[in-house]
Structure 1
Amino acid sequence: MTPFPRSLQATNFLAIAAIAAILVYWPLGCCMSIAQETSDPSKPTASPWSIEPQAGKLILKHRGVALTVFHYQDDQCLRPFFSNVRTLSGTQVTRNHPPIPGVDPDDHADMHCGIWLGFGDIDGHDFWRNKARIRHRRFLSEPTLEADRIGISSEDELIDPQGKSIGSLEQTYRLTRIDSGCLLVWQGVFKAGSEPLVFGDQEEMGLGVRVATSMTEKNGGRILSSDGKTGAKETWGKKAQWIDYSKTLDRKRTGILLMPDQNNLQSSWFHNRDYGLMVANYFGNQAFTGGKPSVIRIEPNRSMTLRYGIYWYESAVEEDLPIEKIRVAVESNR
């Protein structure tokens, strides 16, 4: 087994033992060493990124600050997700997971877990409300630490309520820094097996984010769309290139921006709520406009790719968001 890079080495025997115990149960025998990549192998460069493995999850850090927790196996939220997302300085931008009594509303606690990819109707099965499950199968390669990013890739299965696999999902996650924020590029490649996969029409279909309670529109936050519309009422059910959900805190603007790749199936509708939810949805023509139902069909042994960028930040109020840099990174999957 390749040894952990220095950024992952434990500082005492107990920590090393704890990690070793976790490695024994790494799913399907996948090697748990973390590959640190450099441009010149003979001159290794310490990455500012690090990963702390725990049972069923990975804590992703930048210069020692825990930016988010990636859950690849969870008993409550039955799909991969990122929880407790924080800026480079440690300010949290997603709702606490689990919600803290007296601090957070506890609605949808096992569905709105931070940042997730979920679908209310695939072949008639509900992968949003935990009736069906996106089950982690294996990591396709060792998670990588590069000078400017973390990379993770996995293979998951779409499991119906009867426990049958109806298709597969290859997911890649690339976390990098852009200006005063962090960008997560999330790509999912859905593959049909011997039967087609059919995506239905609902509000709850796509990439979802639940922002921190303090940032919600109800608590003084602002929802802004790429075309200048503001607020949940003005942006709900409308198409946009991106949506930004933010609030001015401590004389800085703190927020999280959701940008679907414009090379996906089509432009995305947005399901935005004043209590802190935003969802980029390609599948909601009837749900949002009252028109004909969106029906997306993947034929047997064929695939469909969806890609999204999620950018969270803490910047000066007058500082413009790096929209073009985000767009280029999302479209190039970098």
Structure 2
Amino acid sequence: MLFIFLLISCKEVKNTATINNTISEEEVQESSKVKFTKDDANRKIDITIDGRPFTSYIYDGQTPKPILYPLITKSGKTVTRGFPYDPRPNERVDHPHHAGHWLNYGDVNGLDFWNNSYAIPEEKKHKYGTIYHQEILQSDEDNGILKIKAIWRSPEDIDLMEEITEFTFSEKENTRIIDRSTTLNALKDVSFKDNKEGMIGIRVARELELVSDKPALYTDAEGNVTEVEALNNEGINGNYFSSEGLTGNDVWGTRNKWVKLESEIEGETASITILDHKKNIGYPTYWHARGYGLFAANPLGQAIFSEGKETLNFKLNKNESVTFNYRILIHNGSKLTNNALNTSFNEFNTK
């Protein structure tokens, strides 16, 4: 390119600069494509955008379900907790089943898929279900689509449901987007008894937690108690904001079409937002959003969150199916406004 430049006349310099700019823009567009890198040895697929790490689809069995981990902003800030995969200093180590981003439920034919983890003693394993990755069905980098198949299986090796999940990864300015569509196909008659533990979840980094100066105890459906310790709140300033105008811990157990969790990480504003879809069962969903870092939406636990005023007890007969659609926004550098979130919600709901 330098040799050509030396041969052209001064009159042609302006045109050459224009050509150079055009080439540069095309190179940027080319490099901004989503890239999937399969790592068979570690049973994962790394997802990058514009050459920068975004997340990994991990199915290595360290957690009894496939997960996306970690979740990283465009600027390189990690918004998910490290534990139990890669513990970081001064973060919580409670709830070992909270890893990255996942989707499962606390009562499927009486089995607890939500709370299953390496920490469950062998004599209690018969109460817990496991989601096993089966295969990659589609890997379309041009459209950012990764499609997988998994099986929801009982401890007796009975296949209850086939899961087909399509992730669509994209980026718009400083917002990274994950559109998740999960279809559950019943291989047996399946019941989802109303349960607090569900359904789409993210365990967030310490910086995104809400300030708390008291320890707390949380009990799952089996009566197991987990203590969440009080930690130093230095640098902790997370807050929930809901589509219905609720903030903080008031969001828990309420219905909203979207909820944003926002804070600062290393001096930069960062947020995670989960958007519901109007076609989902139980829309608008209830939110199982805790101050200690569990950020989840639960459309099926209605009796719990309504204190008995509503009951769903959703069921699928054999060969029936249900689809859950969610959008996750991972934003950095500014505060996402309600208008921006409503615009994204409306756009997502046209799909």
| Superposition TM-score, scaled by structure 1 size | 0.79
Partner of 1:113: 99
Is residue 252–residue 317 contact of structure 1 (8 Å, CA) maintained in 2? Answer: no
1:86 to 72, 91, 96: 72
Rounded to whole Å, the distance in 2 between the matches of 1:197 and 1:329 is 32
Structure 2, unpaired ranges of 5+: 1-28, 117-127, 212-235
2:295 aligns with: 278
Shift of 1:46: 5.3
Instruction: Look at both structures and tell me which one has the larger radius of gyration over its CA atoms.
Output: 2
Residue 260 of structure 2 corresponds to residue 244 of structure 1 = yes
Task: Verify the 8 A CA contact 1:242 1:257 in the aligned structure 2.
Answer: yes
- Bigger CA drift: 296-305 or 241-250? 241-250
**Map 1:165-180 → 2, pairs under 5 A:** 165-180=159-174
| Correspondence 1:311 to 2:307 | no
Q: 1:204 aligns with which of 190, 197, 202?
A: 197
Note the aligned Cα RMSD (angstroms). 2.0
- Within 2, Cα distance between the matches of 1:56 and 1:330? 31
Partner of 2:3: none
Cα distance, 1:326 vs structure 2: 2.3
State the Cα deviation string for residues 34-92 of structure 1 (Å, max 9, x = none).
Answer: xxxxxxxxxx9555322222131111111221111111x23221111111111111011
Q: 1:322 Cα deviation (Å)? A: 2.4
Output the TM-score relative to the length of structure 2. Answer: 0.76
Aligned match for 2:53, one of 60, 66, 78: 66
Note closer, same or farther for the CA distance 1:331–1:104 as it changes in structure 2 (3 Å cut).
same
Matched, 1:138 2:135: yes
Cα distance 1:288–1:99, how it changes in 2: closer, same or farther (>3 A)?
Answer: farther
Mark the runs of 5 or more structure 1 residues left unpaired by the alignment. Answer: 1-43
Count matched residues: 283
1:155 aligns with 2:172: no
In 2, Cα distance between equivalents of 1:262 and 1:272 = 20
- Matched letter for residue 104 of structure 1: E
CA distance in 2 between counterparts of 1:242 and 1:318 reads 12
Mark the CA change 1:74 to 1:108 in structure 2 (over 3 Å): closer, same or farther: farther
Structure 1 residue 329, shift from structure 2 partner: 4.5
Amino acid aligned to 1:303: S
SS in 1 for 2:281: coil
Contact 1:82 1:114 in 2 (8 A): yes
CA distance in 2, matches of 1:317, 1:140: 36
DSSP 3-state at the match of 1:240? coil
Identity of aligned residues (%): 23
3-state SS of paired residue (2:155)? coil
Distance in 2 (CA, whole Å) between partners of 1:230 and 1:83 is 27
**1:330 — aligned with what?**
348
Alpha-carbon distance in structure 1 between the residues aligned to 2:336 and 2:150: 42
Give me the whole-angstrom Cα distance separating, in 2, the residues matched to 1:229 and 1:123.
34
Aligned AA for 1:144?
Answer: D
